[in-house]
Amino acid sequence: MQYLLRSMLFVPGNRGDLHKKAAKSEADTLILDMEDSILDKLKSEARETIIRSLAEGVFKNKVLFVRLNDLDSGHLLKDITKLTIDGITGFIYPKSYSEKDIIFFDSLLTAVEKDKGFNPGKFKIIPLLETASAILRVEKICQVSSRIIAAVYGSEDFVADIHGIHDKEGKALFYPRARVVLAARAAGIIPIDTLHVNIHDLDDLEENLKLAKTLGFEGMLLLHPKEIELAHKYFSPTQEELERARKIITLSEKAARENIRIAIIDNTFIGPPMLTAARNIIKRQQLINEKKLVKNGKNHLPNSY
């Protein structure tokens, strides 16, 4: 299955009112948060609120992930036991330090799935890479489990862990962001960029999104619905990109029929990497179109997109 994760919107697990609002948003994915936004004394209430919202059909046609509490919190096992239920796609595993953390978590999910009668591998994993150790071992983390569909960079805990500074230019973030993209792409999973802390500065968000797209990210963590429109703008193909991609594919196919190895577009040779990039753009637009059809109650694509 392919996942569209341009916008991954955090929603506090204990806020049923916000569940309803978030479910009406255009976010590709909702992250029901059990960690930072929930006080310890409210963790149990948050689990029950998530279960209730699912039972009431609040999240119809929404892809849902739960950000769990970390292993040292004492809440992880309770989270897993209660929230491995239909309607939850998977879990964001926080504060991964090494591939051993993911191996442990994968084994835990396997045991719970077996106990509850779910098919093996039902629940997916997205490691949250927010420690120095995780960034240094990110290649192994991304490849250690077949459940992993994406990798998320978490900047705030990372900067604190390295005793660095998250300045406006994001200098401390550039290396780990680039490394997460490289590791994720090498593993064939989706790289997701860190959240934008100042939710009111949409100009700065846009600059971050431009850089994220340039680096190769495919989506971003979001704190507020007003960030969704910009995230979708930068993580969706532009009309110009689509037209150029279609032209590249058409010219390449024409050249192949004529037994010509290389085609030319705008005085530039079309080599295999350009053709691969063009096909990726078309596939991404198709995935976006599929989401629109599901939202509108349809389940198939038109012949032309």
> Which of 234, 251, 286 marks a domain boundary?
234
Q: Which residue has the tokens 């591998």?
A: 121
Q: Are residues 135 and 90 in the same domain?
A: yes
For 63: left if phi > 0, alpha if psi spans -120 to 50, otherwise beta; the answer is beta
Q: Which domain holds residue 270?
A: 239-295
If asked whether residues 195 and 249 sit together in one domain, one would say no
What was the pLDDT predicted at 296?
65
Q: Return the pLDDT at 298.
A: 54
Q: pLDDT value at position 275?
A: 87
The H or E element spanning position 91 is strand 90-93
| Mean pLDDT, 10 residues at a time, the chain of 305 residues | 94 96 96 93 96 96 95 93 97 94 96 96 97 96 98 94 86 93 98 93 95 96 97 96 90 75 68 87 92 65 34
In this prediction, residue 297 carries a pLDDT of 63
Residue length, the chain?
A: 305
What's the total number of domains in the chain? 2
The CA dihedral of 207, 209, 213, 215, to the nearest 10 degrees, is 70
Are 96 and 221 contained in the same domain?
A: yes
Residue 304 domain-assigned?
no
Q: What is the pLDDT of residue 274?
A: 86
Q: How high is the pLDDT of residue 300?
A: 43
Residue 268 within a domain: yes
Neighbours of 270 (CB within 10 A): 19
Instruction: Supply 255's token pair.
Output: 């050249």
Are 184 and 115 in the same domain? yes
Residue 64 belongs to a domain with what CATH number?
Answer: 3.20.20.60
Q: Are residues 69 and 206 in the same domain?
A: yes
- Enter the pTM of the model: 0.90
Looking at this protein, which amino acid is placed at residue 283? Answer: K
pLDDT value of position 165: 87
